[in-house]
Structure 1
Amino acid sequence: MRTNTFGRVAAVLVGLEGLGLVALAIWQVVALASGDTASIESALALVVLTVVGAAAVLAFAVAIWHGRSWGRSGGIVAQLLILAVALGAATGAYAEPLSALVLAVPAVVVLVLLVLAVREAGRHARDEASA
């Protein structure tokens, strides 16, 4: 299936999010190596989870680029999780509204692009079915 423009832009942005997770994993490894952790076990677990998350998000980006529905679905779930983290950053005793905004704005943009890509893919599938 041919990917539409919305899907291509969303794929690039989801790929950038995946690369951001890779950078975060590298930062975590550097912190672990420099002894800047309270618990080595927890730090290792966090690094592993971050690497798994980065691999998943990068796989979603590739799948979105190739027009696969599972990539769009996974990308939408990832954006909703980012929005949940942003909400947590915006509220509570240690609220950081600017950090929440930095997380939420790109997530909303990508979420809208993914929904538009899903709609376009559905329209394309209906046109093929009726032809």
Structure 2
Amino acid sequence: MLVGLEGLGIAALTVGEIAAIVGGDTGSIESAIALVVLTLVGAVAVLAFAAAIWRGQSWGRSGGIVTQLLILAVALGAATGGFAVPGLALALAVPAVVVLVLLVLAVRDAGRQARGADGADGDAPGAASR
């Protein structure tokens, strides 16, 4: 659900970028259009990850983890440099860390359940070494 909210946030960012183009608040129309397309692709991908997580598919959790790491990279960029905005960096980083931890826990739980289903009779490979 949280990854879905992030996807909706990215979709809202896309709408804001389109509003900036319509309002003439762009330096280069070509770059602005390219940014809208890339942001829209990102929103669709993150929403697809959220749907896959909802269905219990591992690729959605993996994509969600990569998304959180990318958000943390953006937060680091927002916190450093000549145009640093620490408040924005914190607003990006805190939810990303929370979602990252929850996704890692979900991956561990899914792995534990898969091992339990595969080795329910105790004959799983490597069972003797445990």
Per the normalisation by structure 1, the TM-score is 0.90
Counterpart residue number, 1:6 = none
Find the structure with the greater CA-based Rg. Answer: 2
Could you tell me which amino acid in structure 2 is paired with residue 130 of structure 1? G
Choose 90-99 or 54-63, whichever is displaced more: 90-99
Q: Deviations over 1:15-54 (max 9, x none)?
A: 0000001100001101101111010000000000000000
Could you tell me how far 1:94 is from its partner in structure 2? 1.4
* 1:46 equivalenced with 2:35 (yes/no): yes
Residues 1:63 and 2:52 are matched in the alignment: yes
Aligned residues: 120
* Secondary structure of the corresponding residue to residue 48 of structure 1: helix
Q: Give 1:82's match in structure 2, choosing from 71, 81, 91.
A: 71
Q: Does 2:22 match 1:33?
A: yes
Where does structure 1 differ by over 2 angstroms across 4 or more consecutive aligned residues? none
Higher relative contact order (CA 8 A, sep 6+): 1
- Which position in structure 1 is the counterpart of 2:127? none
Deviations 1:60-111, CA, capped at 9 Å, x for gaps: 0000011101000000000000000000111111111111000000000000
| Residues 1:111 and 2:100 are matched in the alignment | yes
Distance 2:88 2:100 in 1: 19
Give the residue type in structure 2 aligned to 1:46.
L
Query: Structure 2: 5+ residue runs without aligned partners?
Result: 121-130
Q: Which residue of 2 aligns with 1:102?
A: 91
Residue segments in structure 1 that go unaligned for 5+ positions in a row: 1-11
Give the TM-score of the pair, scaled to structure 2.
Answer: 0.91
